[in-house]
Amino acid sequence: MEEESIKGNFIKNIITEDIAKGINGGRVMTRFPPEPNGYLHMGHAKSICLNFGVAKDFNGRCNLRFDDTNPSREYQKYIDSIIFDVQWLGFDWGEKICYASDYFDQLHEYAVELIKKGRAYVCSLDGDQIREYRGTLTKPGRESPDRDRPMEENLDLFERMGKGEFQDGAYVLRAKIEMASPNINMRDPVLYRIKNISHPRTGSKWCIYPMYDFTHGISDALEGITHSLCTLEFQDHRPLYDWLLDEVSVPCHPRQIEFARMNLNYTVMSKRKLQQLVEKGIVDGWDDPRLPTLAGIRRRGYTPEAVRNFCNIIGVGKKENRIDVGILENAIREDLNEKAPRAMAVVNPLKVTIENWEDGRTESLEALNHPQNPDMGTRSILFSRNLYIEREDFMESPPKKFFRLGPGREVRLRYAYFITCTRVIKDENGVITELICTFDPATRGGDAPDGRKVKGTLHWVSEEGSVPAKVHLYDRLFTTEDPEADTHDFTQNVNPDSLIKITGARVEKGLADALPGEAFQFERLGYFCLDSKLSSPGLPLFNRTVTLRDTWAKVSKKGNTV
């Protein structure tokens, strides 16, 4: 099926108009420009789907470009993870990956061009002074004493900055625009600063590095980007983006279009906040399955298709909003409902002994791998005298509406037989340790020839047909929709039950050979996948990707947040 790109897309309308006007000869080119200072999250996924999606819709291309202008906080490991994630999401950037650092020579030339035109100057104010001189929203800025430094002197100083003659912070290069501008970004913004450190890609060639605003527009222009899509906080930077591209002799002038950031409820999204969770040990690394990082949701069992679908469904707008994470959960449910083979697992086992089944005898029964999709075939499951069912599928004094097992009650074991509970065995504390049941041999496969009905069908595994397993049940990482509201420390809103570790589960024997990330629907329990990190052949660990239904909506209505 051909996937539709992001819905309700005002950006596509703008581009369609631009094409109609013949701008750029109808060519469309976008870019996804991450700074390699952290792992990608769902917000980035949205930006990726938007940029690559728009390019595809207009038969254009989309570059992957690293905005690597700040070597003090950017690392190769982030570059590697970002490349992996974009590929995982299913997007193709063509022949080569772009790096802003590849344009350092050109950027330097454009800076010199600005100086020569009298549009940039070297300023000796320090960071605090620059801030102080800049003024506020209500107060105009003051001009730097260096603002009218002669052009030759600026050229000389800028050259010496580049030669490493000065300490960090001694000088900066600033655009000469307007200190009284109502837009603070236009008050002589800094273009270059001294950083006497080496860069992962350019080594020790440079000790001055261009600022984001200067770099971004010029990189866009050098790559022939036609539409530069960015988040709303850059709206006030657009006049600067346009000013710079008008002042330097770049080959083209891309159009910047802003859209609203994507936020999800019950989580935090910015790299800085995610980093805090990792550093404080609240989560187990950047790929903790509870995090909205792409590494995290991948480990949790999300598929690229589900993420893309989600991004397309939620659309793109001009107003910040908070998307219900339930929509994301539904996207993965829909995808896995189609793809994931069914299997049986018992998370909280209660032992069942079939007293009229011969000790030592096992029987192979046939189970469907997908009840709605016969193409997915069948598998054998083993029945025997010793079984396990889910502890919560038994009640000693069941209320009326409880259709599962109770003393004297008959239920169906999925794909197997009807069984009736005849006796309950307890330990000295009164805890039920075992159920004694009988089975009806005439109900093999799960139907009674006399037409007798049972109300409940339970999942189960047999002792011989299962292996021990660990299971991690995940819930929302925060108890509140907006964890940052009304608190100085959002980590206080972490859900203490966001991870429940279960050690004594049992899964069908065949699952011992599952591959990392392989997904299953555990019947009646949810979608699970084999953990890619903590699983071992002798003791597989399954992550619950998502429950079968959205139980959260119901529970939270009752005011219960756990």
Looking at the Cβ atoms of 114 and 274, the one nearer to ligand ATP is 274
Per DSSP, 339 falls in state H
Annotated catalytic residue within 147, 160, 201, 261: 261
CA distance to 134, 140, 144, 172, 259, per residue, from 125 (Å):
11, 18, 7, 8, 35
Looking at the Cβ atoms of 293 and 466, the one nearer to ligand ATP is 293
Cβ within 8 Å of residue 552, ≥6 positions away: 326, 475, 476
Looking at the Cβ atoms of 231 and 362, the one nearer to ligand ATP is 231
Tokens of 9: 């897309």
Q: To the nearest 10°, report the CA torsion of 409, 413, 417, 418.
A: 10
> Does the annotation count 35 as an active-site position?
yes
Q: Which residues bind ligand ATP (CB under 6 A)?
A: 33-35, 43-44, 46-47, 230-231, 261-262, 269-271
Sign of CA dihedral 393, 398, 399, 404: positive
Interaction partner, residue 300 (Mg ion, ligand ATP, none; CB < 5-8 Å by kind): none
x/- string (CB under 5 A) for Mg ion, residues 25-64? ----------x-----------------------------
In the complex, what is the shortest distance from the CB of residue 250 to ligand ATP, in angstroms, rounded to a whole number? 20
What is the spatial distance between Cα 353 and Cα 384, in angstroms, rounded to a whole number? 9
What is the spatial distance between Cα 396 and Cα 384, in angstroms, rounded to a whole number? 24
Interaction partner, residue 438 (ligand ATP, Mg ion, none; CB < 5-8 Å by kind): none
Interaction partner, residue 46 (Mg ion, ligand ATP, none; CB < 5-8 Å by kind): ligand ATP
In the complex, what is the shortest distance from the CB of residue 75 to Mg ion, in angstroms, rounded to a whole number? 14
In the complex, what is the shortest distance from the CB of residue 270 to ligand ATP, in angstroms, rounded to a whole number? 4
Interaction partner, residue 339 (Mg ion, ligand ATP, none; CB < 5-8 Å by kind): none
In the complex, what is the shortest distance from the CB of residue 277 to Mg ion, in angstroms, rounded to a whole number? 17
Annotated catalytic residue within 12, 176, 187, 271: 271
In the complex, what is the shortest distance from the CB of residue 44 to ligand ATP, in angstroms, rounded to a whole number? 5
Looking at the Cβ atoms of 181 and 276, the one nearer to ligand ATP is 276
CA distance to 63, 170, 175, 180, 205, per residue, from 104 (Å):
18, 21, 17, 31, 10
Give, as ranges, the residues between 119 and 148 that touch Mg ion (CB under 5 A): none
Looking at the Cβ atoms of 102 and 390, the one nearer to ligand ATP is 102
> Contacts with Mg ion: how many residues (CB under 5 A)?
1
What is the spatial distance between Cα 237 and Cα 215, in angstroms, rounded to a whole number? 13
User: Do residues 156 and 194 touch, judged by C-beta distance below 8 A?
Assistant: no
> Does the annotation count 31 as an active-site position?
no
Interaction partner, residue 238 (ligand ATP, Mg ion, none; CB < 5-8 Å by kind): none
Looking at the Cβ atoms of 85 and 188, the one nearer to ligand ATP is 85
Looking at the Cβ atoms of 36 and 141, the one nearer to ligand ATP is 36
| Order of all β-strands in the sheet with 190-194 | 120-123, 172-175, 190-194, 208-210
Annotated catalytic residue within 27, 35, 160, 363: 35
In the complex, what is the shortest distance from the CB of residue 73 to Mg ion, in angstroms, rounded to a whole number? 10
In the complex, what is the shortest distance from the CB of residue 269 to ligand ATP, in angstroms, rounded to a whole number? 5
User: Do residues 267 and 239 touch, judged by C-beta distance below 8 A?
Assistant: no
Complete DSSP assignment for 449-501: TT----S-EE-EEESTTEEEEEEEEE--SBSSSSTTTT-S-GGGGB-TTSEEE
> Does the annotation count 139 as an active-site position?
no
Residue of closest CB approach to ligand ATP: 43
Report the Cα–Cα distance between both ends of the chain, in Å, rounded. 39
| Interface with Mg ion (CB under 5 A) | 35
Residues designated catalytic? 35, 261, 271
